[in-house]
C-alpha cells in the first residue's frame, strides 16, 4: 500500500542509486524533490520517469556543500510540495581512486565538503522542519553510507571511506539526539553496487573484478538499495532508529 502522499528530498538523484531511490519512494506515494548538482538532464530523466507512472516530482539544482544552496533547496521543496517528511542523504563524490600519500588538500576538502558537511547541512534543515521540538510533524532521515566506512578503502579511497565513517557517526549520534522528537535516523551501508560511479572514478571494470570477493557472488543493484530505503522510512520500521543496515551481499 502506498503511503499518504508526503514530500521527500533525495540528494544526488540524477542517476544511479539516487535515481532508483527517488523512483521507489515516488511509487510509495511521496512527492519527490530530485536534487542534482550538475547533471540537469539526468535529473530531468528521473523526474520524467516518475511523472510517467503517475507520481509527483520536480528537479532542484543545489550544491549541497554550500549552505545557501541547501537552504534554498529545502525552501523550494517546501513551496512546491509542502513540508518535507523524508530526507535521503545520497549525494556524494568519491574523489577518485588514490593512495593517501598521493592526495591533495584540495581533493580532500572537496570530498569532505560534499559527503560530510553536505549531509550535516541537509540533516539540519530536515530536523528544523520535522522535529516536534520545532513544531514539525515528524519524519525520517536515511543516510546512504558505504561498507567502505568499515572496510577502510585501502589502496583505493581511504578518503572516501573516511567520509562514510563520519556519516555513520552522524547517523548514530543524531538518531539518539532526536529520538524523542518524532524523527528517525538510519543509514544504508551500500556494498559494491552496479552504477557508473566506478567508471567515473576511473575503474569501469571494478565491479566485475571484485564480484568474487562478495559472498553472494555478484554486485548489487541500485533498486536493492532503494528497497531498503523504502522500508526504513515506512511504518514497518517505526521502532528502528540509529541503525546502519548493510546491503552488501555479505561483504
Give the residue numbers spanning the domain of 54. Answer: 7-191+222-247
Residue 212: its pLDDT value, please?
83
Residue 32 belongs to some domain of the structure: yes
Q: Annotated catalytic residue: which of 30, 36, 160, 239?
A: 160
Phi, psi torsion values for 139, nearest 5 degrees: 170, -165
C-alpha cell, 159? 578518503
Residue 3: its pLDDT value, please?
39
Residue 155 belongs to some domain of the structure: yes
Residue 136 belongs to some domain of the structure: yes
C-alpha cell, 138? 515528524
Active-site residue 239, yes or no?
Answer: no
CA 186/CA 217 separation, integer angstroms: 27
Residue 210 belongs to some domain of the structure: no
> In the beta sheet, which residues pair with residue 145?
189
Residue 205: its pLDDT value, please?
79
The answer to whether 175 and 184 are in contact (CB under 8 A) is: yes
List alpha helices for the chain, DSSP H.
Answer: 16-27, 40-52, 67-81, 105-112, 118-130, 148-151, 158-177, 197-200, 206-210, 222-232
Residue 127: its pLDDT value, please?
98
Residue 203 belongs to some domain of the structure: no
Residue 201: its pLDDT value, please?
60
Return the ∠ at Cα 146 (arms to 228 and 23), rounded to 5°.
40
The CATH number of whichever domain residue 69 belongs to comes to 3.40.50.720
Chain position carrying cell 520517469: 49
27 in the Ramachandran plot: left (φ > 0), alpha (ψ -120 to 50) or beta? alpha
pLDDT tens for the chain, 251 residues long, are 333 469 999 999 999 999 999 999 999 999 999 999 999 999 999 999 999 999 999 999 999 999 999 999 999 999 999 989 999 999 999 999 999 999 999 999 999 999 999 999 999 999 999 999 999 999 999 999 999 999 999 999 999 999 999 999 999 999 999 999 999 999 999 999 998 765 566 667 777 777 888 999 999 999 999 999 999 999 999 999 999 999 999 98
Q: Which residues contact 78 (CB under 8 A, 6 or more apart)?
A: 7, 84, 129
Residue 206 belongs to some domain of the structure: no
CA 132/CA 152 separation, integer angstroms: 37
What Å distances lie between residue 86 and 21, 58, 89, 94, 249, CA to CA? 12, 15, 10, 24, 26
Number of domains in the chain: 1
C-alpha cell, 224? 536493492
CA 140/CA 191 separation, integer angstroms: 22
Residue 125 belongs to some domain of the structure: yes
Amino acid at each position: 500500500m502506498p503511503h499518504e502522499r508526503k514530500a521527500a528530498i533525495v540528494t544526488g538523484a540524477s542517476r544511479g542509486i539516487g535515481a532508483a531511490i527517488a523512483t521507489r519512494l515516488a511509487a510509495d506515494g511521496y512527492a519527490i524533490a530530485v536534487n542534482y548538482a550538475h547533471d540537469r538532464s539526468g535529473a530531468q530523466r528521473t523526474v520524467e520517469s516518475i511523472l510517467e507512472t503517475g507520481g509527483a516530482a520536480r528537479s532542484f539544482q543545489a550544491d549541497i556543500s554550500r549552505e545557501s544552496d541547501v537552504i534554498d533547496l529545502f525552501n523550494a521543496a517546501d513551496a512546491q510540495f509542502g513540508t518535507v517528511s523524508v530526507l535521503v542523504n545520497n549525494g556524494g563524490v568519491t574523489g577518485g581512486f588514490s593512495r593517501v600519500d598521493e592526495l591533495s588538500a584540495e581533493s580532500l576538502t572537496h570530498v569532505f565538503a560534499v559527503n560530510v558537511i553536505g549531509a550535516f547541512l541537509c540533516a539540519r534543515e530536515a530536523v528544523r522542519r520535522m522535529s516536534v521540538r520545532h513544531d514539525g510533524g515528524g519524519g525520517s532521515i536515511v543516510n546512504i553510507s558505504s561498507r567502505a566506512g568499515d572496510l577502510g578503502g585501502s589502496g583505493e579511497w581511504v578518503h572516501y571511506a573516511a567520509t562514510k565513517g563520519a556519516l555513520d557517526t552522524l547517523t548514530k549520534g543524531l538518531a539518539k539526539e532526536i529520538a524523542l522528537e518524532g524523527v528517525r535516523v538510519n543509514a544504508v551501508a551500500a556494498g559494491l553496487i552496479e552504477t557508473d560511479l566506478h567508471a567515473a572514478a576511473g575503474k569501469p571494470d571494478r565491479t566485475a573484478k571484485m564480484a568474487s570477493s562478495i559472498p553472494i557472488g555478484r554486485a548489487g543493484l541500485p533498486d536493492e538499495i532503494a528497497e531498503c530505503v523504502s522500508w526504513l522510512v515506512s511504518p514497518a520500521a517505526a521502532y528502528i532508529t540509529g541503525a546502519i543496515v548493510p546491503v552488501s551481499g555479505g561483504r
